[in-house]
Amino acid sequence: MTDLPREVDVLVAGSGPAGSATAALLARGGLSVLATDRAAFPREKPCAEYMSPEAVRVLARLGVVEAIENAGAAALEGMKLTAAHGATAHGVFSQAGHRPYRATGLSVSRRILDNELVRAARAAGARVLERTSVEELLIDQSGVHGAIIRDPTGQRRPIKARLTVGADGLRSIVARRLGKRTHGSPRRIAFVAHLAGVPSVGSSAELHFGLTSYVGLNRVENQQTNVAVVVPSEHAVAARGRSEEFFWEALQEFPTVYQRVRAGRIVRPVLVTGPFAAWSHRVVAPGSLLVGDAADFFDPVTGDGIYSALRGAELVAETMIPALSDSDLATHGLRQYQRRRREVFAGKWIMERITRYLMYFPRLFDRSVSRLGQHGDMAHTAIGVAGGYVPIRAMLHPAFIARMVF
Ligand SMILES: Cc1cc2nc3c(=O)[nH]c(=O)nc-3n(C[C@H](O)[C@H](O)[C@H](O)COP(=O)(O)OP(=O)(O)OC[C@H]3O[C@@H](n4cnc5c(N)ncnc54)[C@H](O)[C@@H]3O)c2cc1C
């Protein structure tokens, strides 16, 4: 890596969806961009791999939809919910009242998706270094000026940058250096596998809730099914060294799901991740910002972390391309980014909080799902809000609340 630049406009730590999309959009905007990832792509990532039509809109902007569809991505029409006491609801993207980007979302393994996003970043002119970690920030009293990266040979190099983007996920080093990070509750651990031969998995993703756990089923490429079981951390202690056995044990809390999944066979080993809920109190600092999970991630239950990562990248581009073209505007751009995040994600944050709160009260949760099921249009609205294309005011409207309660 002798030809590595010592100085770039933008250094991006992490090249998952948030980092690759940010790198691609900023490079398209004419900035010199260096992105790194400690992993080598393609790589697996524990995730339920569900994307709403709005996530597909950003993927289309990045030019990767055709490639992931050619790789077998499954079209998703919506989401079916089953609560612990049996209530069900089915939200369909195309019926949410606001027109989505297209009628269907997509579902594809992260091995394929993230690799295509890295390719898109490179095609846009960004340089992406794999197996290269960001180890420390170049930071002084005036702000962040880049980072020290460690290449695959173990060599450390300082890279100066006008903007350093933390897109390094849940355990972001950039986020930890910028300020306080809160780890919320409940603390949950996920066990995610791909199976072949699971019967009756249709074109909507499924989410089944138990009293303390939940499980998601979702068709991915090659007629395989992504099965993600999420349990409280204290239960997961029993999984140490035996994650596949634990995966099957945890599934037994959901007898009908267990019967179906048991008919299949694991084709990608169980991957384990968690605990998740973490958010940063400071998403911008002079010379730096956070995007994707590095900024905030609550729980996979509302299912749209990839969308948030991609949409966050759009907000970085919208605010920072004009700001970096004039050094006096950099601080203004960071403020704008923070403001736009609040505008765009406020609805998602409210919905995540409501969902997490309801999950503490299974009876109330059941009743809410039952109401969504009785009034199908409300289920469609809820899935549109979670998917980022229906404004939260549609759910906070007195008529919606009255139908939920009475
Ligand atoms: C169990 C589970 C299920 C989920 N299901 C869904 C779902 O169905 N749909 C959905 O939309 N979202 C889902 N999510 C959320 C989704 O996975 C995340 O929100 C999404 O991956 C965020 O993208 P990101 O780019 O911010 O972070 P990541 O995808 O985590 O990418 C961060 C990257 O940074 C790299 N990195 C980390 N540290 C460093 C470092 N120091 N230097 C260099 N590189 C570094 C990592 O290798 C990684 O590639 C789920 C999450 C979990 C845990």
- Same domain? 151 vs 234: no
Percentage with pLDDT > 70 across the chain: 99
- Same domain? 321 vs 176: yes
Q: Give me ligand 1 centre to Cα 273, in Å.
A: 10
Residue 303 has what pLDDT?
66
Pocket of ligand 1 (CB under 6 A): 13-19, 36-39, 45-51, 133-134, 167-169, 173, 190, 192, 228, 273, 276, 292-294, 297, 300, 303-307, 309
Specify the number of domains making up the chain. Answer: 2
Q: What is the pLDDT of residues 55-79, one digit of tens each?
A: 999 999 999 999 999 999 999 999 9
Cβ atoms 85, 368 nearer than 8 A = no
- Same domain? 230 vs 174: no
Task: Return the CATH number at 123.
Answer: 3.50.50.60
Q: Give me ligand 1 centre to Cα 87, in Å.
A: 31
- Going by C-alpha positions, the residue among 363, 305, 108, 307 that lies closest to residue 221 is 108
Q: What is the pLDDT of residues 310-341, one digit of tens each?
A: 999 999 999 999 999 887 677 899 999 999 99
- Same domain? 116 vs 247: no
**Neighbour-count burial of 405, counting CB atoms closer than 10 A to its CB (0-12 exposed, 13-18 middle, 19+ buried):** exposed
Residue 355 has what pLDDT?
84
Query: Which atom of ligand 1 is the closest one to the Cα of 19?
Result: 25
**Neighbour-count burial of 393, counting CB atoms closer than 10 A to its CB (0-12 exposed, 13-18 middle, 19+ buried):** exposed
**Neighbour-count burial of 102, counting CB atoms closer than 10 A to its CB (0-12 exposed, 13-18 middle, 19+ buried):** middle
C-alpha 221/C-alpha 20 separation (Å) is 22
Q: Which of 250, 273, 296 is the last residue of a domain?
A: 273
Give the mean pLDDT of 153-181.
96
Query: Which atom of ligand 1 is the closest one to the Cα of 292?
Result: 26
- Same domain? 216 vs 333: no
Query: Which atom of ligand 1 is the closest one to the Cα of 18?
Result: 25
Nearest-10 crossing angle of helices 330-359, 362-374 = 100
Pairing relation of β-strands 78-82 and 204-209?
parallel
- Same domain? 39 vs 156: yes
Residue 301 has what pLDDT?
82
Mutate to test the pocket of ligand 1, among 206, 306, 351 (most ligand atoms within 8 A of CB): 306
Residues in the chain: 406
Residue 186 has what pLDDT?
79
The token pair at 370 is 């039952």
Q: Is the pLDDT of residue 302 over 80?
A: no
Cβ atoms 27, 315 nearer than 8 A = no
Model confidence at 356, pLDDT cuts 50, 70, 90, reads confident
Residue 347 has what pLDDT?
87
- Same domain? 167 vs 194: no
Q: Which of 273, 304, 330 is the last residue of a domain?
A: 273
Residue 91 has what pLDDT?
95
Note the helical H segments in 88-230.
Answer: 110-123, 173-178
Task: Choose the weakest-confidence range: 66-75, 84-93, 149-158, 353-362.
Answer: 353-362
Report the run of H or E that residue 57 belongs to, with start and end: helix 53-62
Domain housing 138? 7-50+107-183+278-350
Cβ atoms 136, 147 nearer than 8 A = yes
Query: Which atom of ligand 1 is the closest one to the Cα of 132?
Result: 43
- Same domain? 134 vs 261: no
Q: Give me ligand 1 centre to Cα 309, in Å.
A: 9
- 68 assigned to some structural domain: no
Q: Where are the beta strands (DSSP E) in 172-304?
A: 181-183, 188-196, 204-209, 214-219, 224-232, 265-273, 278-280, 284-285, 288-290, 296-297
Percentage with pLDDT > 90 across the chain: 77
Mutate to test the pocket of ligand 1, among 20, 25, 37 (most ligand atoms within 8 A of CB): 37
List of residues 6+ apart from 140 with CB closer than 8 A: none
Residue nearest to atom 16 of ligand 1 (CA): 305
- Same domain? 285 vs 216: no
